[in-house]
Amino acid sequence: MPEDARNPERLKSERIQAGILKVPAWALDGDTIVRTYKLPSFRAALAFVQFVGELAEARDHHPDIDIRYNRVKLTLTTHSAGGLTERDFDLAELIESR
């Protein structure tokens, strides 16, 4: 794993604003970005969570996931950096490309 992946740098405000433009369905919430997805059913929500889990595991970067019937809320932040990093926006972009 590259050094910057283990110790990502927390983004400054300008870069956060540029990052959120790439994932406009996501919203800034403090030191996180969040998005709630509405799926057709509970089964579809579970399949989506599995998809996100596979992406996250492959990148060793894991979102907080809240599932409520057919709604899945994802929250991304880099705890080790104390806020948002490129890793958060990269994962959000991958999730959006589904």
Q: What is the pLDDT, as a whole number, of residue 4?
A: 52
In this predicted structure, the answer to whether residue 77 has a pLDDT above a threshold of 80 is: yes
In the DSSP assignment, the letter for residue 79 is G
The confidence band for 6, taking pLDDT boundaries of 50, 70 and 90, is low
Fold of 26-96: Gyrase A; domain 2 (3.30.1360)
Indicate the burial class of 20 (C-beta count within 10 angstroms; 0-12, 13-18, 19 or more).
middle
Q: At what angle do helices 86-96 and 42-59 cross, to 10 degrees?
A: 140
pLDDT tens per residue across span 15-72 = 999 999 999 999 999 999 999 999 999 999 999 999 999 999 999 999 999 999 999 9
Please report, for the chain, the start and end positions of each structural domain, with discontinuous segments joined by +.
26-96
Tokens 């110790």 locate to 7
Prediction pTM value: 0.90
Strand partners, 65: 74
